Amino acid sequence: MNKNKILNDINLSAKPYVIYKTSNGFDLFTDFSKKIILSNNNVTNFLETISSNKKKIKKTDLYIGFFGYELLNHLIGIKFPKQKTNFFPKGIFYKPETLISLSENLSFKAQTTDKKNKQFKININRKNYTKIFNKFKRKIKQGETYQIKICTKYKNKSKIDPLDFFCRLSKSNLAPEAFLIKDKNYSVISCSPETLIEKKGRSIITKPIAGTLKKNTSLNKSKALQYFRKNIKETKEHNMIVDMERNDLSRICIPGSVKIKKEKTIEEYKDLFHYVSLIKGKLNKKVKTIDIVKSMMPGGSVIGCPKISTLNLLNNQEKENRNIYTGSFGYIKFNGDMRFNIIIRSILNFKNISEISVASGVVIDSNANHEFNENFIKAKALIDLFK
C-alpha cells in the first residue's frame, strides 16, 4: 500500500482530513462521521459528554480538532469587548473512521498554488506596537500583570494548497506538535512546538516554552543555554510561566504530585532556539475532561501571568479576534486520554485570506524594538512558504 499515494488521492478528492505529528511520523485521520462546530452555547455539553469509562477503545475512538482562543476565554468566564471578526468558527472537532500512519518523509505532488499578492500586511506597525508596549509596561509597574503577550497578525490574500505548505514546512521546520487540517472552506497549517496537555490515565504533563533566540552560525545548543541562563529578562519570563502552569496543574492534581521533571532545557528549530521545561502531575480521581480544559487553557506561555487579569488586559486592548491563535489543537479519546498543543506558528487560510499570528512577552525588563523584531522571527518560517 503506497500511503503517500493515498494521501495525494485524498487531497485531490477534496475530502476533509487531519494530519497530526506522532513520535515516529504522522497520523492521517479522515472519513469523518461527525463534524461538531463549537459555539459558546454547545461547548460545555460537548466536553461533559465526550468521554466514557471504556477501557478498550479503537484507535479511531476519539474526537480531533481545535478550540479557538475566544471559546476558551468563554469557558472560564472572560468577556470580550466588540472586536473585528472574520466569522471563523470558534472550534471544530471531527470523529474519524479511518486512521493511517504515515512516515515523516511525506512525498507530495503539489497542486497549483496562487502566489500572487505575496506581500503580507501587518495589523500593528512598529509605532503602534511601541504605544501598546509602553501601556502594558505601565500596567506591569502598577501590579496589574507581571508578563503580557502582544499579538501581531500578518495577512495576505492567497489561495494555497495546504498539503504542499505542510510538507515543505515539515521538511524545513518540523516540530513535535505539527498538524494540518484541510476542510472544504478552510485549512490550518502549524509547526507548533508546545505540548500544553498530554494525559494518559491519571498522569498529565505540560511543557511550557518561554524564551526564544534567533539562530546564527556561531550558536549551538550549549551556547544558547548559556545565553538564557545569563539573561535576566528571559529567566524571569520563564520562571513566571513555569510557576503559573504548575499552579494550573495543581488545581486538578493530587497535592504534592506536581513536579518539574525537566527544568530549563534547550530545543532547536530551523530559525531559533527555545527555552523549555517539563512539568508532571497525577490527576485527582474526580477530575473530568472539562475541568482539565478549563484549568489548563488558554496556555499560560502565550498569554502572560497572572492569567485572568492578563487575559482581561489583552482582550480589551486587541481590536480583532485571535481565532485559532493561542487556542489548542489535539484529540480527546473516548477513555478520557488526551493530547493538546498551543496553536502557534500557524497559518489559517479562510475565505482565501491567510493569516499568521505571533506574540512576544513583555516583562519589566523588556525592550519594545527587540520584542517587535522577535515577532517577525517567529513568523518568518511561515512567511517564507509563500515565496
pLDDT in tens, 252-271: 999 999 999 988 989 887 77
Q: pLDDT tens digits for 267-306?
A: 887 778 888 999 999 999 999 999 999 999 999 877 878 8
Question: Residue 44 pLDDT more than 70?
Answer: yes
Query: Which of 211-215, 246-250, 307-311, 335-339 shows the lowest mean pLDDT across its residues?
Result: 211-215
CA distances from 130 to 13, 133, 136, 154, 232 (A): 47, 5, 10, 17, 22
Higher pLDDT, 316 or 105: 316
Q: What residues contact 330, with CB distance under 8 A and at least 6 apart?
A: 20, 64, 66, 197, 338, 339, 340, 341
What's the pLDDT tens digit per position in 171-186?
Answer: 887 888 999 999 999 9
**Amino acid letter for position 270:** K
Contact in structure between 228 and 276 (CB atoms under 8 Å): no
State the cell numbers at 42. Answer: 454547545
| Residue 116 CB neighbour total at 10 angstroms | 9
The confidence score (pLDDT) of residue 284 equals 96
Q: Which residues pair with 280 in a beta bridge?
A: 205, 259
> Taking all residues of the chain, what is their mean pLDDT, rounded to a whole number?
90
- The residue assigned the cell 545569563 is 230
CB 150 within 8 A of CB 359: yes
Q: Domain 3-386's class?
A: alpha beta
Rounded to an integer, what distance in angstroms lies between the CA atom of residue 207 and that of residue 132? 29
